[in-house]
Structure 1
C-alpha cells in the first residue's frame, strides 16, 4: 500500500496546483458531456447543494452521502447544470476504493490529484486513510462518501451502512453539515453486467439520470454520546481492540453503539429520500 498512496500528490500546492486544475477541469468536462449531452439529467433541490459547496459558514465541513449505483456516480453526479464542477478549489474530496482506483502508480497519481482518498475495503474504520479524511473535514473541506461501501444496481432499499461515515461525523472537531443525495439512472449509463459480465468500455447514452438532493441532517452529538454510553452498558460489543482515546474515553462498545445510531439515521434519511424520489419522478412524467 505505502508507495501508492502518494499523499504528496494530493497537496493543493503540488506543482503550483496546476496538475489538480488540469485533471479536475478535464474530469468535469467529461462528466458534463456524459450528464448533459449523451444523457438527460434532472436535479431536484440542486440549489441547496450548490449553496453549501459555494458558501457555507467558514470552517464548517460539508459531508455529502449518497447511494452507489455505478462507477460513474462520482464525478457525473456533480455535472448537472449550474454546478461548479470544474473548480478545483471547490471540488469534493471523495473516499475511493484502493483496489480499483489505486492499482498502480499512474492511476494512483491521477486519482490523488483528482482529490481522491484511498480506502482499503475491510480495513476497518480506524485505518490510516480515514485519518486523512478526518483531516479534510477538520480543515472545513467538502467530502463525499458512499456509505453502502459498494455499487448496488438493483432498485432496492438502502443496505446497512458501513460505519466509516458515522465515525467521521462523530470524530470531526466541528460537526459537518451532512447532506443526503439519492440518484437513479447511473445503473443504465454504466451497467455492471453489460456484455459477458463486464461494464461497457464507454458510458452508454440516451438514458435519464435523476438526482434528488435532500435537506441537511442534524446530529446532536453530545446527546448521542450519552445515549451510546447508556446503551453500551447493556451490550456485549467489546473485544477490547478499539482505541479508547478516539472519542473522549468512549470504550469500544459505546463507540459501536454511537456509530450504529448515526448510521441508522443516515440510512433512514436516504431511504425516505429514495421513496420521495420515486413519487417525485411520477409527478414529473
Structure 2
C-alpha cells in the first residue's frame, strides 16, 4: 500500500509536485473501487491524486476505466498500472490481467496507429517497509527498483484493429504475455521479496 505513491514520489523530480498543473507530468493510476473509493474522504483523496476507480469482477477488460486510461495514454499522458490487479503475498510476480493488452490497443487506435511507450519496472523490499503484520512504515529498510527497456510491440499491435473479436483477444493476451516476460526478467535481477502468505488475510479467488 506504499509503492504508489511512495516509491514513485522518491523516483520523480520533486518540482513536478508544484509544476504538475502546467506540465501534466505526474502519473495517473488505477485502483479498486472497494479499496480506494470506499468512502467520501478516500474518494476525494484519490481523485485529486489522479487515480481512477476500477470495479473488479464486473465486466472484465471492458470497463469504462480502461477506455479513460487509453485516452490519457493517447494524449501522451502517463498511466501507471499494477498489471496483476491484486496484491500477491507470496512476494512473487503473479499472472497479469488482459486489460494491459486492451489498454495498449485502445490507446494505439486513438493515437492514429502509434503505440504508446511501455516501460516496465519492478521493485523488491516493500514487504520489509510495510509488512502485512504492521500498520505503520518500518523505516530504515531498502527498496530496490529495476527499470527495464521500452517494450517493443509493433509486431503484435498490428492486429489490434482486427474485426475478428477472437483475434483481438489473442492480441491482448500476447501483449500481456510480453509485458509479463519483461517483468519476470526484472524480478530475477532483484532481491527476493519476503513470503507473507502464511499471515495474509483470507480472500476469495481473484476475478478473471
Would the TM-score normalized by the shorter structure come out above 0.5?
yes
Q: Distance in 1 between matches of 2:39 and 2:164?
A: 38
1:252 aligns with: 165
Paired residues, what number? Answer: 181
User: Does 2:141 align with 1:207?
Assistant: yes
Q: Distance in 2 between matches of 1:92 and 1:184?
A: 21
* Deviation (angstroms), 1:270: 0.4
Secondary structure in structure 2 of the residue aligned to 1:177: coil
2:96 aligns with: 161
Alignment of 1:1-285 (within 5 A): 71-80=1-10, 83-84=13-14, 86-87=17-18, 88=20, 89-123=24-58, 124-156=60-92, 158-172=93-107, 173=111, 174-192=114-132, 194=133, 200-220=134-154, 223-224=155-156, 248-278=161-191
- Contact 2:67–2:106 at 8 Å: present in 1 too? no
Unaligned stretches of 5+ residues in structure 1:
1-70, 195-199, 229-246, 280-285
- Contact 2:28–2:79 at 8 Å: present in 1 too? yes
Q: Distance in 2 between matches of 1:155 and 1:117?
A: 25
**Alignment CA distance shift 1:213-1:203 (3 Å):** same
The structure with more radius of gyration:
1
* Deviation (angstroms), 1:108: 0.9
Q: Distance in 2 between matches of 1:132 and 1:171?
A: 10
Q: Distance in 1 between matches of 2:180 and 2:47?
A: 29
Secondary structure in structure 2 of the residue aligned to 1:255: helix
CA RMSD, aligned part only?
A: 2.0
Secondary structure in structure 2 of the residue aligned to 1:79: helix
Q: Distance in 2 between matches of 1:81 and 1:251?
A: 41
Unaligned stretches of 5+ residues in structure 2:
193-208
* Deviation (angstroms), 1:82: 5.9
Q: Distance in 1 between matches of 2:157 and 2:145?
A: 33
- Contact 2:161–2:168 at 8 Å: present in 1 too? no
Determine which structure has greater relative contact order: mean sequence separation of CA pairs < 8 Å that are 6+ residues apart, divided by chain length: 1
- Contact 2:124–2:191 at 8 Å: present in 1 too? no
